[in-house]
């Protein structure tokens, strides 16, 4: 009885302890008067602790918040969501297109086809471009130069997957002559328009098989596929030419240059580093440091997110190159041959060229940054940025009220109480992402689309939004950011219909047994629904969904695991039936990593095993589409496919609310050089931290003019 009584009292004791802690913490005014330096630091709290402070390695939001302050990318997005230069002051985007000579083709107006005659034929077409239809005329006028590449011989080595792992294939290639086109702009319809001059037969009749031989004995059909891969008749090669800012410094005083950009790309693509960002840079063909301040990036194919992908933080080559890693390995008694960037102490003591530099990290307590006085855009107003690890949300709330934290991410049940509190300024918006239940499509019965649909029909998302999110969320039907044009508003929600769910299961051969569970061939329909610990919302979802599924006869057990165990032992090893998780999304509609069938291996993001050839085609089209309207159409079609297949039950997108003390404002100078203070205003996406480097904390709440 005594034990039970203690257990019952423990929440009350905890609350008393927290309230007591609250009164122990000095108020904001007391902190400011006793320690004026408190005005010069911004302190934030999080339930999670950062792990890897490296832009090419991290995979959690806590690390991301630190990385974005320590490192800088070549570009980012401005307040209106347009791409702006950061470490790159400007850039050029153009294309190098390539076309192999097809001597067996039938081209109208040509008797014999050779490299020189084909070049002359296209040059002549350029001279009379006005005779063609407008799209063809535009493509011809976009050609700035044509050069001829003679026949060539080379060897190509490929690593191919087979049932036992990977097989090395060596190919001998006798390439025909090739025309190289310099295009002023990327022209995704260039070859389509060129076919109106050369005829479709030119492209369709090209046989790369005749130019390729294999050193190994492999089936003819497979060799034909390989030949088409290594010797495509046509090839788009978009080019990004970045012009970098001069005089930008890393935190250790070393000057940033083009070699750092190339090194960052190489670090991402090095398989030893196990970067989760490989898929976003796989389309790159090569990165060339032309000189200290010029980087040329050539792509293998059309890739519309190319420019925005270079918002990734740039690593310092001089601290992480092969020589430095080997030196660190020897110093720490490690094997230099097995030592990679992932093993380096750099990940806990990073050096970037962002607005803040690393200072101190006490695990489980706090991580402190200090402003970089030599930041290229000017040092931030805050001298220090402190990131505290506070696992308990109630403790975070109490410390925010006391002034020990400067901001607080409001829990759903607190929104109504805090959003209009006169002591604070509040910001709210719709999250870029969603929460979902993901099914393991490798297991039966989750490999059956109708069963997945039945499970979705049995879940009342409205109930979750009302009682778990306190109305701070909305339903979602597919994989795109809901507030963008890529989201298909015409896709209907699956709805809540448990009777229909039962009908579908019965049509698939499941019947209720005497004990009330659905059974088929003597086997009960049962599953385990899992998620990570430390997330009360997901914990509540587990309970609600378990109850809903039991009502239609599904025997459900639930479990929560510590995050690293959950990911490494369950998700990465495909050892699960269904998981409750969420995705944070980007504005770009590139879903390759999450939904493409090539991304289903261990530690890749399509861990549910979704494979759909039509979906793959749309995902690939979206990546290479530069026309926004067509891209939107492809996104809508992909949305429809995924909603129909239901590899996920899409639950909701959350609304978020954050509060700050009203003493925090934006400080800047007007045209006359006078200091002015302005209210913090969010961007179009709700990002209220966009001007963080200009934030300042004042001793007293400022009075603003009505227009400011």
**3-state secondary structure string, 454-506?**
HHHHCCCHHHHHHHCCCCCEECCCCCCCCCCCCCCCCCCCCCCCHHHHHHHHH
- Within 8 A by CB and 6+ apart from 447, the residues are 441
Mean pLDDT of 596-605: 89
Asked if residues 704 and 425 have their Cβ atoms less than 8 Å apart, the reply is no
User: What strands lie across the sheet with 675-678, from one edge to the other?
Assistant: 675-678, 664-669, 695-697
CA distance 458 to 464: 13
Burial class (CB in 10 A: 0-12, 13-18, 19+), 524: middle
pLDDT at 705: 55
Distances (CA, A) of 224 to 201, 207, 211: 19, 9, 10
How far does Cα 344 stand from its chain's mean position? 24
Distances (CA, A) of 59 to 13, 65, 66, 257, 268: 36, 11, 12, 26, 13
User: Please, what are the domains in the chain?
Assistant: 10-71+346-430+668-697 (3.40.190.10), 93-238 (no CATH), 433-656 (3.10.105.10)
Write the DSSP symbol of residue 2.
H
424-436: pLDDT as tens digits: 999 998 999 999 9
Q: Which residue has the tokens 């569970």?
A: 517
Q: Which of these, 383, 424, 385, lies nearest to 403 by C-alpha position?
A: 424
Is the pLDDT at 412 greater than 50? The verdict is yes
Packing angle, helices 628-645 and 613-624, rounded to 10:
160
Tell me the longest C-alpha to C-alpha distance in the chain.
101
**Backbone dihedral angles phi then psi of residue 332, each to the nearest 5 degrees:** -95, 5
Q: Which of these, 383, 384, 411, 380, lies nearest to 395 by C-alpha position?
A: 411
The pair of structure tokens assigned to 84 is: 């702006």
Q: Which of these, 278, 245, 279, 254, lies nearest to 264 by C-alpha position?
A: 278
Distances (CA, A) of 78 to 82, 83, 680, 682: 5, 6, 15, 12
109-151: pLDDT as tens digits: 888 898 999 999 999 999 999 999 999 999 999 999 999 999 8
Asked if residues 432 and 584 have their Cβ atoms less than 8 Å apart, the reply is yes
pLDDT at 353: 98
**Cα separation of the two ends of the chain:** 62
CA distance 441 to 695: 48
Asked if residues 152 and 176 have their Cβ atoms less than 8 Å apart, the reply is no
Is the pLDDT at 12 greater than 50? The verdict is no
pLDDT at 29: 56
Q: Which of these, 351, 352, 321, 325, lies nearest to 337 by C-alpha position?
A: 325
Return the H-helix or E-strand segment holding 541.
helix 536-551
Q: Which of these, 387, 393, 431, lies nearest to 66 by C-alpha position?
A: 387
Mean pLDDT of 680-685: 86
Burial of 557-576, coded b for 16+ CB within 10 Å and e otherwise, reads: ebebbebeebbeebbeebeb
Is the pLDDT at 453 greater than 90? The verdict is yes
Burial of 79-103, coded b for 16+ CB within 10 Å and e otherwise, reads: eeeebebbbbeebeebbbbebbbbe
Is the pLDDT at 8 greater than 60? The verdict is no
535-568: pLDDT as tens digits: 889 999 999 999 999 999 999 999 999 887 898 8
User: How many residues does this entry show for the chain?
Assistant: 708
Percent of the chain with pLDDT over 90: 71
Mean pLDDT of 397-412: 90
514 or 74, which is more confident: 74
Q: Which residue has the tokens 């990465």?
A: 572
**Backbone dihedral angles phi then psi of residue 344, each to the nearest 5 degrees:** -75, 150
The pair of structure tokens assigned to 478 is: 């597919």
DSSP 354-380: SSEEEEEEETTTEEEEEE-TT-TT---
pLDDT at 25: 44
Mean pLDDT of 343-354: 97
Find the DSSP H helices in 1-101.
Answer: 2-24, 28-34, 61-70
150-181: pLDDT as tens digits: 988 888 888 776 655 667 888 899 999 999 99
CA distance 73 to 86: 6
CA distance 156 to 158: 7
CA distance 399 to 61: 22
pLDDT at 6: 34
pLDDT at 244: 98
CA–CA–CA angle 482, 52, 400 (5° rounding): 65
Average pLDDT value for the chain: 90
124 or 219, which is more confident: 124
pLDDT at 1: 33
Is the pLDDT at 17 greater than 80? The verdict is no
Is the pLDDT at 491 greater than 60? The verdict is yes
pLDDT at 685: 80
Map 78-143 to HEC letters. CCCCCEEECCEEEEEEEEEEEEECCCCCCCCCCCCCCHHHHHHHHHHHHHCHHHCCHHHHHHHHCE
Is the pLDDT at 209 greater than 80? The verdict is yes
Secondary structure (3-state) at 161: strand
Which neighbouring-strand residues pair with 388?
Answer: 45, 366
């Amino acid at each position: 009885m005594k034990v039970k009584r203690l257990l019952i009292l423990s929440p009350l004791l905890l609350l008393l302890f927290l309230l007591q802690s609250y009164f122990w913490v000095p108020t904001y005014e007391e902190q400011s008067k006793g320690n004026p330096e408190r005005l010069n630091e911004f302190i934030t709290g999080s339930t999670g602790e950062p792990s890897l402070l490296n832009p090419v390695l991290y995979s959690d939001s806590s690390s991301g918040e630190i990385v974005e302050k320590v490192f800088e990318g070549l570009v980012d997005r401005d307040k209106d969501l347009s791409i702006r230069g950061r470490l790159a002051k400007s850039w050029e985007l153009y294309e190098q297109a390539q076309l192999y000579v097809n001597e067996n083709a039938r081209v109208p107006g040509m008797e014999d086809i050779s490299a020189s005659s084909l070049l002359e034929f296209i040059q002549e077409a350029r001279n009379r471009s006005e005779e063609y239809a407008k799209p063809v005329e535009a493509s011809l006028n976009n050609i700035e130069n044509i050069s001829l590449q003679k026949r060539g011989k080379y060897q190509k080595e490929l690593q191919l997957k087979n049932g036992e792992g990977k097989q090395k294939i060596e190919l001998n290639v006798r390439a025909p002559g090739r025309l190289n086109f310099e295009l002023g702009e990327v022209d995704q319809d260039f070859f389509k328009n060129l076919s109106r001059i050369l005829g479709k037969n030119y492209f369709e009749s090209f046989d790369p098989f005749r130019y390729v031989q294999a050193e190994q004995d492999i089936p003819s059909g497979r060799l034909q596929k390989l030949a088409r891969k290594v010797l495509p008749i046509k090839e788009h090669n978009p080019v990004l030419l970045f012009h970098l800012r001069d005089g930008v410094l890393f935190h250790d005083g070393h000057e940033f240059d083009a070699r750092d950009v190339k090194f960052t790309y190489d670090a991402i693509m090095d398989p030893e580093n196990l970067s989760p960002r490989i898929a976003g840079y796989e389309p790159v063909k090569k990165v060339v440091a032309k000189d200290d301040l010029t980087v040329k990036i050539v792509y293998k194919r059309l890739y519309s997110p190319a420019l925005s992908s270079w918002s990734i933080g740039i690593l310092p080559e001089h601290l992480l190159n092969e020589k430095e890693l080997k030196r660190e390995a020897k110093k720490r008694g490690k094997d230099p041959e097995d030592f990679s960037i992932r093993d380096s102490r750099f990940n806990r003591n990073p050096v970037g060229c962002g607005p803040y530099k690393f200072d101190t990290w006490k695990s489980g307590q706090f991580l402190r940054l200090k402003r970089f006085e030599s930041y290229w855009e000017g040092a931030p107003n805050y001298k220090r940025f402190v990131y505290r690890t506070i696992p308990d949300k109630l403790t975070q709330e109490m410390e925010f009220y006391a002034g020990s934290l400067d901001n607080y991410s409001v829990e759903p049940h607190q929104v109504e109480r805090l959003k209009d509190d006169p002591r604070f300024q509040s910001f709210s918006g719709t999250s870029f992402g969603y929460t979902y239940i993901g099914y393991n499509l490798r297991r039966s019965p989750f490999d059956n689309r109708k069963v997945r649909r039945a499970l979705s029909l049995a879940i009342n998302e409205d109930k979750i939004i009302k009682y778990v999110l306190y109305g701070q969320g909305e339903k979602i039907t597919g994989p795109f950011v809901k507030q963008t044009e890529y989201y298909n508003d015409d896709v209907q929600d699956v709805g809540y219909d448990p009777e229909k769910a039962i009908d579908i299961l019965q049509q698939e051969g499941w019947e209720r047994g005497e004990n009330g569970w659905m059974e088929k061939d003597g086997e009960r329909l049962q599953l385990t629904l899992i998620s990570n610990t430390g997330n009360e919302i997901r914990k509540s979802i587990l309970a609600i969904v378990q109850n809903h599924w039991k009502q239609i006869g599904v025997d459900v057990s639930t479990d929560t695991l510590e995050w690293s165990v959950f990911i490494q032992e369950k998700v990465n090893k495909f050892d699960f039936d269904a998981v409750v998780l969420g995705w944070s999304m980007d504005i770009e509609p590139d879903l390759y990593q999450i939904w493409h069938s090539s991304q289903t291996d261990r530690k890749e993001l399509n861990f549910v095993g979704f494979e759909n050839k039509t979906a793959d085609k749309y995902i690939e089209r979206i990546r290479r589409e530069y026309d926004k309207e067509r891209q939107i159409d492809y996104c809508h079609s992909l949305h429809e496919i995924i909603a129909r297949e239901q590899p996920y039950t899409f639950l909701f997108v959350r609304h978020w609310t954050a509060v700050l003390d009203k003493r925090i404002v934006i400080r800047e100078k007007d045209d006359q050089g006078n200091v002015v203070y302005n209210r913090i205003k969010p961007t179009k996406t709700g990002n209220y931290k966009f001007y963080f480097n200009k934030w300042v904390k004042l001793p007293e709440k400022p009075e603003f003019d009505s227009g400011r």
